Structure 1
Amino acid sequence: MKRLYRSYMNSFKGLSREVWWLALVTLINRAGTMVIPFLSLYLTQDRGFTLENVGVIMSCFGLGSLAGTWIGGKLTDWLGYYKVMTSSLFLTGLAFFWLQGLESYYAICAGVFILMVIADAFRPAAYVAMDAYSEDENKTRSVTLIRLAINLGYSAGPAIGGAIIASSGYASLFWIDGITCLLAAALLLVVLHPAKVEVMESATNNSPRSAYRNSGYLLFIAAMVLLGFIFVQYFSTVPLFYNEVRGLSEFNIGLLLAMNGMIIFIFEMPLIKYLESRPLTQITLMIIGIGLTALSFVFLTFGSWTGLLVIGMLMMTFGEMIIFPFSSAFAMKKSRGGKQGEYMALYNIAFSISHIFAHNGGMQSIANFGFKWTWYFAMVIGILGIFLLMILQSRKATV
């Protein structure tokens, strides 16, 4: 037991103090993101919107995310990641307060779009900050630590969110989200000094290669779009399936989502440290991750035993633990020639594109073909993502 504990703790060694502070800021911020996993339920049950309406609203979510990520990348290359991160967190807190008061369908569409423009400007800036604060040999583990903070926040958030919905309704979640964003902004201002950031951002490349002209990188991005398409189903259509087909309550859905976060918190860092020591390329590991995620949908297509839902969530969780740290590290590696904000923005834009089409596509598919065929479509999309990565692997990742 002592050896296991020592091995687990050793997997965290070598990470910089600034990366730990970024992880804490992220934890505080993500601990309050209780609205997102329940957004589709909130819109259908509390506001009475149809599945088609919810699909359009979630597309606005994705469009706002795409625009915000692109703007965030440009602002990061122009102003630096420190200013972008603090401004995004502060304004996102205010936007959550404003959003919960909106009533009409079109107002909510606009509100969700504006919220995501502000909130997702944070993402490319955070990746550039992480890259600046970590050593080359620690890039993947630094990403993993931030993901641990995200998932620890998510593991607490849905469970607490389900309890809050049961006791005081959905509106309270928006206030909690807003407050945690403001707390995260305040902590970032206190623990990371701007002067040190300015020194780190001083190194530039006079002739960087644009991410939008890097064909290999664009192939990688296309695979990430397909991954994102199936991954986000677990936070929009899958909760509806849990509720409407399998009869799970919001609280039980929250517990199932919390299991995902707790498993990641406990196992991801040792898993990444172990996989880094194996003779496997980053692309091979990404292929394995997408494969596990696609395979998880098999367990949603048959039977009535609740344990099948747990097995499916476990498959998706292990796929997630592999794909996201190594894909993030791959993207950061390719951004070192310059225009880091642009490269990391494009990486995050891949998932924003997924949000635009995946939520609405999933809702429309359920409305027209049912849940089972939607899960079949998800598996096919995952296979296409694997195929793109295999092409990239065959080119020896010369991007």
Structure 2
Amino acid sequence: MRGLRRWWDDTAGGLPATFWYLWSGLLINRAGAFALLFLSLYLTVARGAPPSLAGLVVGAYGIGGAAGTLLGGVLADRWGRRATLLAAHLAAAGLMAALAFSTHLAVIAVLATLVGVAHSMPSPAFVAAIVDVVPEARRSRAFNLQFWAFNLGMAVASLLAGLLAEASFVALFLVDAAATLAAAVVIALKVPETLTRRPALTPQAVAGRRPGLHTALTDRTFLVFVALTFLLAVLTMQTSTIMPLAMRADGLRPSAYGLVVALGGALIVVGQLFVPRLIEPYRKSSVLAVSTGLMALGFGALTVADGLPLYLGAAVVWTIGQMLAAPPNAQINADLAPPELRARYQSVFYLTFPAASFVAPALGGLSLEHLGERHWLVVGALGLVAAAGHLLAGPRRERRVAALRAAPAERVKSAR
């Protein structure tokens, strides 16, 4: 019993109530965000759209997501975290309800783009609010729980989506809207504004220029980290873009692909809560190097995979890498951001995922077609490059974080 209590304290203890309300809102949001999983099927089956047009509409959702990520970051730093979260959730709920009853394909395309904007806006605000309220020493466990909630919510969403899609597409969109509205209610009732206005601490502010989104886009140390995260995202996207094609080429059925994906999700839901205590003694750059190396090993092993057991074994390896990477990746991203630009930095960071969702299938398809199984050697090599990059960039990142932490103290001294 004492050991269980200690494990709970190490995993989730000492986190403020506001974090748990944010966490609950995120879980409700993810568990209810299932309609877009079936958007292409809805368009082709219920609205008679050809596959090419359905692909364009789904792509429009992705474009809206990239714009919404940047917009959410800017608004969260200007309006505040709570206002941005409420606006995004209420807009998303209304748009999903409109999608449920829209029949014209042009209207559906516009609504899908706007839904992409509304769905992506909360991400920078969620993370910025978590950083605002969680003490630095406990942020790793907070980000670990955030990653766990995201994956648990997506697992629930996948299950519910299949059931609702068989019953009614209208119900699919309306239940999604209701879940989004429920998350908004939790935020409205329980989450206070966490943004604290502070004088800017950036070099641009010292030089007399107002810091903004351009600050994040010209921060070399931060952009190196974003580039390494992009490589990690490209590896992660292989599971949903290129791996199904490779498994089909190996004569495996779609049910085998579903089993591989389900195994990864189950490992995260069961094992993610044990990660913080495991990685706590080690430097973040070392953990990221090991985790990315494991992902490189897992995907590289697909070079020789020709049956389901090998795919399942490789999935275990790369999923462990993903689990180890999640907390330090999020914490480094938070540590590198000046406090007054947290959400803007988050928005630039989150652009890596829509970018990877485009690059991974576009270039991966060509690679698989021309290189065959050697494609996985290229993927493994990218992972090793990212692992080496984290080891090389780690010391500079640590010096940057130390300088940001020292800046408030220096400002207080100068004020005296």
User: Do both share a fold (TM > 0.5)?
Assistant: yes
- Residues 22, 146 of structure 1: 8 Å contact kept: no
Write the distance in 1 (CA, Å) between the matches of 2:79 and 2:347.
Answer: 15
**What is aligned with 2:233?**
228
- Residues 71, 121 of structure 1: 8 Å contact kept: yes
- Residues 208, 337 of structure 1: 8 Å contact kept: no
Write the distance in 2 (CA, Å) between the matches of 1:62 and 1:377.
Answer: 26
Q: Which amino acid aligns with 1:192?
A: V
Compared CA separation, residues 383 and 338, structure 1 to 2 (3 A): same
Q: State the TM-score, normalized to the length of structure 1.
A: 0.83
Write the distance in 1 (CA, Å) between the matches of 2:172 and 2:339.
Answer: 41
Q: Which amino acid aligns with 2:188?
A: L
Query: Residue 59 of structure 1: CA displacement?
Result: 4.7
How many residues align structurally?
386
Query: Residue 23 of structure 1: CA displacement?
Result: 1.0
Query: Tell me, what secondary structure is at the counterpart of 2:12?
Result: coil
Compared CA separation, residues 42 and 293, structure 1 to 2 (3 A): farther
Q: State the TM-score, normalized to the length of structure 2.
A: 0.80
Moved more, 92-101 or 285-294: 92-101
Are 2:269 and 1:265 aligned?
Answer: yes
Query: Residue 272 of structure 1: CA displacement?
Result: 1.5
Compared CA separation, residues 396 and 128, structure 1 to 2 (3 A): closer
Compared CA separation, residues 84 and 129, structure 1 to 2 (3 A): same
**What is aligned with 1:70?**
70
Write the distance in 2 (CA, Å) between the matches of 1:343 and 1:169.
Answer: 40
* CA offsets 1:48-104 (integer angstroms, 9 cap, x no match): 755x77776565444322211111111111100101011111212233344466678
Query: Residue 337 of structure 1: CA displacement?
Result: 4.3
Compared CA separation, residues 133 and 394, structure 1 to 2 (3 A): closer
- Residues 61, 355 of structure 1: 8 Å contact kept: no
* CA offsets 1:344-373 (integer angstroms, 9 cap, x no match): 11111222322333344445555x448745
Query: Residue 335 of structure 1: CA displacement?
Result: 1.5
**Seq. identity, %:** 22
- Residues 63, 355 of structure 1: 8 Å contact kept: no
Write the distance in 2 (CA, Å) between the matches of 1:380 and 1:49.
Answer: 38
Write the distance in 2 (CA, Å) between the matches of 1:43 and 1:363.
Answer: 24
Query: Tell me, what secondary structure is at the counterpart of 2:141?
Result: helix
Write the distance in 1 (CA, Å) between the matches of 2:44 and 2:397.
Answer: 47
Compared CA separation, residues 321 and 19, structure 1 to 2 (3 A): same
Compared CA separation, residues 124 and 172, structure 1 to 2 (3 A): same
* Structure exhibiting the larger radius of gyration computed from Cα positions: 2
Write the distance in 1 (CA, Å) between the matches of 2:224 and 2:130.
Answer: 24
* CA offsets 1:2-24 (integer angstroms, 9 cap, x no match): 45533432221111111111111
- Unmatched runs of 5 consecutive residues or more in structure 1: none
**What is aligned with 1:386?**
387
Compared CA separation, residues 152 and 215, structure 1 to 2 (3 A): same
Are 2:160 and 1:188 aligned?
Answer: no
Are 2:279 and 1:285 aligned?
Answer: no
**What is aligned with 1:113?**
113
Query: Residue 282 of structure 1: CA displacement?
Result: 1.0
Q: Which amino acid aligns with 1:312?
A: A
**What is aligned with 1:143?**
143
Compared CA separation, residues 21 and 358, structure 1 to 2 (3 A): same
**What is aligned with 2:314?**
312
- Residues 41, 240 of structure 1: 8 Å contact kept: no
5 Å-filtered alignment, 1:225-374, equals 225-239=230-244, 245-249=251-255, 256-276=260-280, 278=281, 280-363=282-365, 365=367, 368-369=369-370, 372=373, 374=375
Write the distance in 2 (CA, Å) between the matches of 1:59 and 1:378.
Answer: 24
Compared CA separation, residues 60 and 233, structure 1 to 2 (3 A): farther
Are 2:216 and 1:211 aligned?
Answer: yes
Query: Residue 116 of structure 1: CA displacement?
Result: 1.6
Write the distance in 2 (CA, Å) between the matches of 1:218 and 1:308.
Answer: 36
Aligned CA-pair RMSD: 3.2
Query: Residue 159 of structure 1: CA displacement?
Result: 3.0
- Residues 94, 177 of structure 2: 8 Å contact kept: yes
Moved more, 77-86 or 287-296: 287-296
Query: Residue 157 of structure 1: CA displacement?
Result: 2.1
Q: Which amino acid aligns with 1:96?
A: M
Moved more, 260-269 or 127-136: 260-269
Query: Tell me, what secondary structure is at the counterpart of 1:293?
Result: helix
Query: Residue 309 of structure 1: CA displacement?
Result: 3.0
Write the distance in 1 (CA, Å) between the matches of 2:291 and 2:108.
Answer: 35
Q: Which amino acid aligns with 2:183?
A: A
Write the distance in 1 (CA, Å) between the matches of 2:234 and 2:279.
Answer: 25
- Residues 158, 255 of structure 1: 8 Å contact kept: no
Write the distance in 2 (CA, Å) between the matches of 1:298 and 1:100.
Answer: 42
* CA offsets 1:268-320 (integer angstroms, 9 cap, x no match): 232112211x2x22111112222222322235444443233322332232111
Compared CA separation, residues 56 and 359, structure 1 to 2 (3 A): farther
Compared CA separation, residues 175 and 379, structure 1 to 2 (3 A): farther
Moved more, 113-122 or 41-50: 41-50
- Unmatched runs of 5 consecutive residues or more in structure 2: 204-214, 401-416
Query: Residue 137 of structure 1: CA displacement?
Result: 0.6
Query: Residue 30 of structure 1: CA displacement?
Result: 0.7
Q: Which amino acid aligns with 2:392?
A: I
- Residues 100, 171 of structure 1: 8 Å contact kept: yes
Compared CA separation, residues 39 and 81, structure 1 to 2 (3 A): same
- Residues 26, 149 of structure 2: 8 Å contact kept: yes
- Residues 151, 262 of structure 1: 8 Å contact kept: no
